Structure 1
Amino acid sequence: MSKLSDLPNIGQVLEAKLIASGIKTPLQLIELGSREAYARIHEQDSSACLHMLYALEGAVQGVRSHQLPKSTQRELIQEFKILNQITACAIT
């Protein structure tokens, strides 16, 4: 696997966002993890959504995002809320 788009859930648009955020390889994404990757994208693109975080976690785990366990989805929802609160506080 040499391209980010070789990972599950990573299409051309998300691949471009990852690269723009400094994440250029599948190994970098896996080492950073979905939460850090999402945070980096969110810094550049405030429209980044929960489904993007799911997609990134699925890519890290090597599964389609809809196959993530419910417990993982709940954790990601909490992380998403925290990241968006931090951003909202930083803006005001």
Structure 2
Amino acid sequence: MAALTTIRNIGPAFEESLIAVGIKTAEELRDLGADAAYARLLENGTKPHFIGYYVLHMALQGRPWNDCKGNEKKALRKKFDALKASHFDQDQSDLERMLNEIGVIKASK
């Protein structure tokens, strides 16, 4: 099993975030895909950031992170906005997000 950092654009910090949500190998990330992996990050308290989202897409395609441009970038922005709307709880406090990030059971509403 290959380390996540063997994938272009995945550095130690991003690797740590992925491992924290249960994605431990490059193969697991490739099998899961960019959208499902990013949704898992959002569900576990990662604050949405469009650049991080498209970097993940570029990484899984073996492309430089800044290769995303034009219509492709616009299409990914629409997908990002939809993921954010359906997987990120904006009403969750920063404390709840932090507790969720370290593995404490997600607070119920």
Q: Into which bin does the TM-score normalised by the smaller protein fall?
A: 0.7 to 0.9
CA-to-partner distance for each residue in 1:31-87, whole Å, 9 max, x for gaps?
111111100011112413111111111111011121135333222211111122223
Please provide the CA RMSD for this pair: 2.2
Runs of 5+ unmatched residues, structure 1: none
Greater helix content: 1
Deviates more, 1:8-17 or 1:67-76: 67-76
Q: TM (normalized to structure 2)?
A: 0.72
Give the letter aligned to residue 6 of structure 1: T
Determine if the alignment matches structure 1 residue 3 to structure 2 residue 8. Answer: no
Matches of 1:16 and 1:89, distance apart in 2: 23
Is residue 43–residue 89 contact of structure 2 (8 Å, CA) maintained in 1?
no
For 1:37 and 1:43, how far apart are their aligned partners in 2? Answer: 10
Would you say how many aligned residue pairs link Structure 1 and Structure 2? Answer: 92
- Residue 49 to residue 21, structure 1, CA distance change in 2 (3 Å): same
- AA at the equivalent of 1:60: L
CA distance in 2, matches of 1:71, 1:29: 25
Matches of 2:17 and 2:70 in 1, distance apart? 26
1:42 aligns with 2:42: yes
